[in-house]
A and B are shown apart, each in its own frame.
Chain A
């Protein structure tokens, strides 16, 4: 590519970046909308979605007593179908004792160390994913509604800054694919389908969106 052309593209991207605000809420689409009909059918059918195997694992772990306190999740929280309804949609949520937001995995691990007196489960371990997917399963279909207030505000702003910061060998920001070109035939769409089909969000290992960065093209 000739330098002038490259500069031209860079200039266009920069000017778009300057104009681009958040995608208005009604226009936002889940990656689900970009999945193939076959993948959607697989994800919709609880009998065919391999993520449900993790949910079963999580349901067993929920009842299992752990740690020196010898308590299970159910001993405090009872029936997850009632107590965990809609909970996952509120995470990451602010933790007053740690004075920072925690995501759902961190919250579960904190419950383990504080209340069960057990060792925290390693991040991305099969057990932690299973418990997380099990808790999240009770919020299925609910829109993610993270509280935006004075406490979480600075963290959301810091995240926005990283999201919009150009980085990596391709010098792209997250937003250049996932905000500005999300609807077109763009790297966002292709890389999402290829590297991270959304079925993996409750996929063969019950993996969660926190893993997304690992497969991204800008790294």
Chain B
């Protein structure tokens, strides 16, 4: 199952401009500390790593912990250097993987 992802960044930017990138992904982020109705622990199921690559070069990386709420929202800044693609990658427990790309034009 692919997770729903929302990416927001300006489609166009000036060279050298600092741009904000916002990412939101649908994920339960089950902490592993909660008990279900039967009294058993609900196993941990979280996203552990998020990376963003700009034309292949890693510009942002985050390690997520069980304390982070569901549907993690990450926002960060980068400098617009050249036109190309940004690649977003989430991975986590139980083999969870999601990727998304977005194009940017730098003038």
Contacts and interface: CB of A to CB of B under 8 A. Distances in A.
Interface of A: 45-48, 50, 52-53, 56-57, 204
Given A50-B71, A204-B71, 17 more contacts: A45-B22, A46-B6, A46-B8, A47-B7, A47-B8, A47-B22, A48-B22, A48-B24, A48-B75, A50-B24, A52-B6, A52-B24, A53-B6, A53-B26, A53-B71, A56-B6, A57-B4
Query: Most chain-B CB neighbours within 10 Å: which of A45, A48, A50, A57?
Result: A50
Contacts of B26: 50, 53
Nearest to A52: B6
Interface of B: 4, 6-8, 22, 24, 26, 70-71, 73, 75
Contacts of B75: 48
Contact residues of B: prevailing secondary structure = strand
A53 B4 contact: yes
B52 to A, nearest CB: 15
A44 to B, nearest CB: 13
A176 B8 CA distance: 43
Contacts of A46: 6, 8
Contacts of B70: 50, 204
Contacts of A52: 6, 24
B6 A47 contact: yes
Contacts of B6: 46-47, 52-53, 56
B24 A47 contact: yes
A48 B71 contact: no
Contacts of A48: 22, 24, 73, 75
Nearest to A56: B4
A47 B26 CA distance: 13
A56 B7 CA distance: 12
25 contacts: A45-B22, A46-B6, A46-B8, A47-B6, A47-B7, A47-B8, A47-B24, A48-B22, A48-B24, A48-B73, A48-B75, A50-B70, A50-B71, A50-B73, A52-B6, A52-B24, A53-B4, A53-B6, A53-B24, A53-B26, A53-B71, A56-B4, A56-B6, A57-B4, A204-B71
